[in-house]
Amino acid sequence: SHEKFDAIVVGAGPSGNAAALTMAKAGLKVLQIERGEYPGSKNVQGAILYADALEKLIPDFRDDAPLERHIIEQRMWVLDDNSFVGSHYRSDDYNKPPYNRYTIIRAQFDKWFSSKVREAGALVICETTVEELLMDGDRCVGVRCDRIGGEVHADVVVLADGVNSLLARKAGFHGEIQARNVALAVKEILFMPEEVIQQRFNVKEEEGVVIEMVGTVTEGMVGTGFLYTNKDSLTIGVGCLLSDFKGNEKRTTPYALLDKLKKHPSIAPMLEGGEMKEYAAHLIPEGGLRAVPQLYGNGWLIVGDSAGFVNAVHREGSNLAMTSGRLAGETVAAAKAAGKAMNAATLAAYKAALDASFVMKDLKKYKHLPEVLERSPHFFDTYPALVNRAAKTYFTVDGVDKSTKQREILGSFKAARRVTGLFGDAFKLWRAMR
């Protein structure tokens, strides 16, 4: 094809769909290219959808989006090998529409999202891989694909090709992805009747629960586990920094951790009878601000996971993806309307918009966290074990007086980390989270 487009979007995940939708709605001639059989085909698993970011793109999404359950309860669990200490937050306010968070199955959701992009007028082509960006000096002028006649030209290319963006690296926009900046996560989907989920999680139809977990299951590696309730399935998964898997002396695999998590005595009963349909492994960008590359240049923009936009602390990714995609789309549409060239000077407005949004503000807030966590494995191992041991000591009634129990608990903390270590850890955590 020798057609020229206003914009080409590479990838049809949440960030690419947000960018393509925004530009198509503004009347631009948009081509979106996705390598999967259909948008979401590589994304079979459950996830949390944050309504706010989608509402800004599709205000009435609740009318027909494939949503599983809205979240009414958030649980945070600290695990040791056979117990957990947890906090639960449940509110009836989360049961009043419009709901704030939902579980979704990405394969269905991405497909639906893509249908909106098509309706807005973008040309969406699947089963096509973009192999490289066409460069004219330092200006990106289009893409080369493995199909549709090879080369396609556009005024601007939006890179929404996900974590590990090979295209940006090939073009020299950023360097090799570092193992300490990505988590390797595995997750499974387990099917069971709706009523069973409702009973086990103490919820009604369409109500859902999220469990976020940290603890000895990751064997001291920086990582977390999670469990989401879908309509008639559960998503369970665990992820740790790739650098930790690589450096792990025991050579533990992600699947071994997931297996251990599923067998945990506090978790196994919730999964019982669940029929495993599929599992998937995927990388998550978790380097935070330090891993964010150059975000724009002459004729190109980077959005979503390929820009490293994930808030690992709050388990947010898709909302940063959608927001960055929307802001990129708005930047391009405004430039087009003003008749400006799609050069770095014009596209700098995208970075300014990101800086003013929660995307960069949150990444900046947690900028010290990755380095603090990677140098403090005891947050993922020693402390979870201590906290659980303390709870056991405290709640076991065995004729030992309470003051003695308190001394025992304090003693176990001091023995494990010494007083200086305890204060040091508290300070580091405060610095990283403030």
Contact set with ligand FAD (CB under 6 A): 10-16, 33-36, 42, 47-48, 129-130, 160-162, 167, 185, 187, 237, 239, 282, 284, 304-305, 310, 315-319, 321
CB of 15 to ligand FAD, least distance (A): 4
CB of 166 to ligand FAD, least distance (A): 6
CB of 319 to ligand FAD, least distance (A): 5
How far CA 80 is from CA of 75, 139, 195, 215, 396, in Å, comes to: 16, 53, 30, 6, 17
- Give the number of residues written for the chain: 434
CB of 399 to ligand FAD, least distance (A): 46
At what angle are helices 344-356 and 318-337 packed, to 10 degrees?
140
Question: Which residue's CB is nearer to ligand FAD, number 194 or number 212?
Answer: 212
CB of 338 to ligand FAD, least distance (A): 27
CB of 211 to ligand FAD, least distance (A): 12
CB of 14 to ligand FAD, least distance (A): 4
Residue 122: strand, helix, or coil = coil
φ/ψ of 143, rounded to 5, equals: -135, 155
Question: Which residue's CB is nearer to ligand FAD, number 28 or number 321?
Answer: 321
Question: Which residue's CB is nearer to ligand FAD, number 44 or number 85?
Answer: 44
Query: Please, is 405 exposed, middle or buried when counting C-beta atoms within 10 Å of its C-beta (0-12, 13-18, 19+)?
Result: middle
Tokens of 25: 């709605």
How far is 161 from 20, CA to CA, in rounded Å?
13
How far is 161 from 37, CA to CA, in rounded Å?
15
CB of 126 to ligand FAD, least distance (A): 9
Question: Which residue's CB is nearer to ligand FAD, number 131 or number 206?
Answer: 131
Secondary structure letter of residue 424 according to DSSP: H
Question: Which residue's CB is nearer to ligand FAD, number 16 or number 384?
Answer: 16
Which of 310, 324, 285 has the alpha carbon at shortest distance from 19?
324
Question: Which residue's CB is nearer to ligand FAD, number 197 or number 284?
Answer: 284
Query: Please, is 237 exposed, middle or buried when counting C-beta atoms within 10 Å of its C-beta (0-12, 13-18, 19+)?
Result: buried
- Side-chain-side CA neighbours of 298 within 13 Å: the count stands at 8
Question: Which residue's CB is nearer to ligand FAD, number 271 or number 284?
Answer: 284
How far is 362 from 415, CA to CA, in rounded Å?
36
Residue 245, C-beta contacts closer than 8 angstroms, at least 6 positions apart: 184, 221, 252, 253, 254
Question: Which residue's CB is nearer to ligand FAD, number 211 or number 342?
Answer: 211
Question: Which residue's CB is nearer to ligand FAD, number 43 or number 376?
Answer: 43
Of all residues in the chain, what percent are helix, strand and coil, respectively (each to 5)? 40, 25, 30
How far is 103 from 258, CA to CA, in rounded Å?
20
CB of 253 to ligand FAD, least distance (A): 15
